Amino acid sequence: MRLLSFQVDGFGVLHDTGIDPVPRSLTVILGDNGAGKTTLLRFLRALLFGFRAKHARVPIYEPLRGGSHGGSAVVEMSDGHRYRIIRSADGSPEGQSTVMSLSDDAPNRDLSAILGQATRDVFENVFAFSLEELQEVGTLDQENIRSRLDAAGAGTGARSLPDVRRKIDDEGKAILNSRSSKARLSVIVAELRELRERQTALSRDAERYAELGREQAQLATRLAEAARAEAEASAALNARQAERDAWPDWRALIEARQALDAVPDVPPMPEGAEERLNAAKQAAAQRLEAVQQAAEAVKRAQAEVDASCARLGDGWTEERVVGFDAGQTPEQAVAEIARRMAEAAQQEAKADAAVRHADEALREAASAREALEAEERQRWPSPPRTMDAIEHDLGTLREARAAATRLAEERAGRATLEARRQGAEDELKHLRVAPEPVAQPAHIPLIVTFGLLAASAALVSFSPLAAGVLFVLFLLSAAVAIRMHRKARSVVRAQRQEEIREAEGRLKDVDDKLAAADEAIARQLAHLKELAGRIGVERASSVDDLDPAESRLMEERDSARAYAEFGERLRGARRTEARAADALEAARKALAEAQTERAATNARWQARLQEIGIPAEHRPDTALQFIEQVRAARTLISARDRRAAEHADAVARADEARKAVEAAIAETGDADEEAFLRHASAWRILQDARRRVDAAAARLAARAGSEERSRALEETLAATDE
């Protein structure tokens, strides 16, 4: 077992401490007197064997600095499995121990199995002893420790050497004693004797074994002859079974040949003749349908041409439409004039709207300026403070709040120190009034003393001289025991004095920190009052005392910002009013110019209509629509001509499809389509009969395995019946 780590929850002066991990090499723990080195040794003993053995007068080290009484440790066994050992107080002297496995595959072990059956005495005198205990050389004389050390050196675990020897002697007697229930040697000898008798009996049966061998050879010869006869019979049976299995295929072949002989012979049909005829007939039907569709399209196109000419007006015929110049030049001229007229009208409308908008804007700007001036007189009878002065006071306020926050932190720290001082005083008072711990007595000298006293009392009636000598030795032993007890009491008292000095040092350290905290609080309070006086706060000792000043300064800053923004709005309103007056004058001038340009554009439009040949009642948009209608009528005439050409082409293709049908019928030598169909049906029946004959012959050949065996199988089946 190896110690990996340990944690002390509460044990004497130790609290919430430990080592994790414990190094594999040598570990030395240094510390002043009273630091807890011996207490740590006692903790490890208590963790493994209990806080105190039954009826033992040793301290159990109650926690002096908080925490639950006890702790834990992690150990690793030689097989690599790890366990956590936990020791806690439950009212009993030993306390409660718990063992937890930290490996998934680790076997369950109790504390004694982990310790290898080691006792408290062995652990305290061999593995974990203090300097005072090392000086007691008589410790190793104990019989229990001596036997444990011998067993550890011999590798026998918790058994002593005498126990091992007694175990070996008992096992030997059990083997050699014939009257014992475990006399294994006697049983083995009896079995050996029985095997020898069986060997002698078997040697007499050798001649019988040779005779049986000859009979076995004769039976093997007869068995081989029977196997050959069985193989021949099996081959004949397989042949009959093959003929029986092939009989249905043979009958199908005969019936297919008879059906083929019954079909009359017909001239062969050219390959793909039926497909070619069907394709030609389908193409002829499709082209005839295309001729009908083309004729309908020509009729519809002519109706659309007539309707388009009627929409153009009286006197517009196909010839006039074709002769009208509907190209880009007239359209461009009309579009250009229409564009100019639209621009002139648009400019006039925009100029008129601009005049109305500018007049409205001027009235709105004047009304806005007058309203802002009235609001300024109402809200600010006198101008507020400047933003720079207000921002300077706000900066001072932020410094004062930071100082108040630091003051609160100093006060909180002082309260914490005061609580620590109270705890240190309570601990020192406890150490001063607590009863002095009982020192561990010197057991061996006391035992020797009382033993000498008892021996002296027993010998006083037999040998007064011997009794006197023993009494003198009793007095010397008692003196030695008293001296050792006083020495132990002095060590315990020295430990208690060291603990009291440590508690007094901690109390003085807390008092020094409290004095420093009081000085810091005084400085922070003076600085806070100075900053608060700058912003008009007479009394300030916390952050809450600065809230009214902050609210006042924030209101002043908001008022100053609003005044500056309002002034900018008023100046903007005055500039907007001036720009609106200038815009109204410019808009009125632009309106007069737009009205003059529109009148000139209308005069140019009438002259252009007469030049192009479009009726004078048309406006620019309707004139363009009229040209588009003429162009659409010409497009319909062209489409009607294309439909007529497509109809003529469809008629020619339908005539070619009809000739292809006649050629497909003539290819087979038949007179007409009806004779072609009869010829094709007879040829299909003949081909189907030939395929059935070939299929039946192929099945029979596959069953026979080869063409030669197939012919032999046909001959055999032809010579027999079902």
Per-residue pLDDT of 391-440, as tens digits, reads 888 888 888 888 888 888 888 888 888 888 888 888 878 877 877 665 55
Average pLDDT over residues 428-453: 69
Average pLDDT over residues 571-595: 86
Determine whether 481 is exposed, middle or buried from the number of CB atoms within 10 Å of its CB (0-12, 13-18, 19+).
buried
Tokens matching residue 198: 């069986």
Residue 71 has what pLDDT?
A: 92
Measured on CA atoms in the order 615, 616, 617, 622, is the torsion positive or negative? positive
Q: What rounded mean pLDDT belongs to the chain?
A: 77
SS3 160: coil
Cβ neighbors of 1 (< 8 A, separation 6 or more) are 75, 76, 77, 78, 114, 115, 116
Residue 206 has what pLDDT?
A: 58
Average pLDDT over residues 641-651: 85
**Of 84-93, 222-231, 499-508, where does mean pLDDT reach its minimum?**
222-231
Nearest by Cα to 85 from 94, 72, 95, 76:
72
Cβ neighbors of 90 (< 8 A, separation 6 or more) are 96
Contact 704, 710 (CB under 8 A): yes
Tens digit of each residue's pLDDT (9 = 90 or more) over 518-575: 888 888 888 878 887 777 777 777 778 778 877 887 887 888 788 888 888 888 888 8
Instruction: Please state, in angstroms and rounded to a whole number, the distance separating the CA atoms of residues 249 and 246.
Output: 5
Residue 53 has what pLDDT?
A: 59
**Of 246-255, 357-366, 584-593, 687-696, where does mean pLDDT reach its minimum?**
246-255
3-state secondary structure 391-447: HHHHHHHHHHHHHHHHHHHHHHHHHHHHHHHHHHHHHHHHHHHCCCCCCCCCHHHHH
**Of 558-572, 683-697, 698-712, where does mean pLDDT reach its minimum?**
698-712
Instruction: Please state, in angstroms and rounded to a whole number, the distance separating the CA atoms of residues 158 and 113.
Output: 11
- For residues 173 and 23, which has the higher predicted lDDT (pLDDT)? 23
Tens digit of each residue's pLDDT (9 = 90 or more) over 266-296: 777 777 777 777 787 788 788 888 888 888 8
SS3 667: coil
Highest mean pLDDT: which of 140-144, 186-190, 203-207, 464-468?
Answer: 464-468
Average pLDDT over residues 494-519: 84
Nearest by Cα to 516 from 413, 390, 434, 403:
413
Confidence tier at 7 by pLDDT (50, 70, 90)? very high
Cβ neighbors of 11 (< 8 A, separation 6 or more) are 39, 42, 43, 46, 61, 63, 69, 70, 71
Distance from the Cα of residue 193 to its chain's centroid:
76
Tens digit of each residue's pLDDT (9 = 90 or more) over 28-76: 888 888 888 888 888 888 888 888 755 566 677 888 888 888 899 999 8
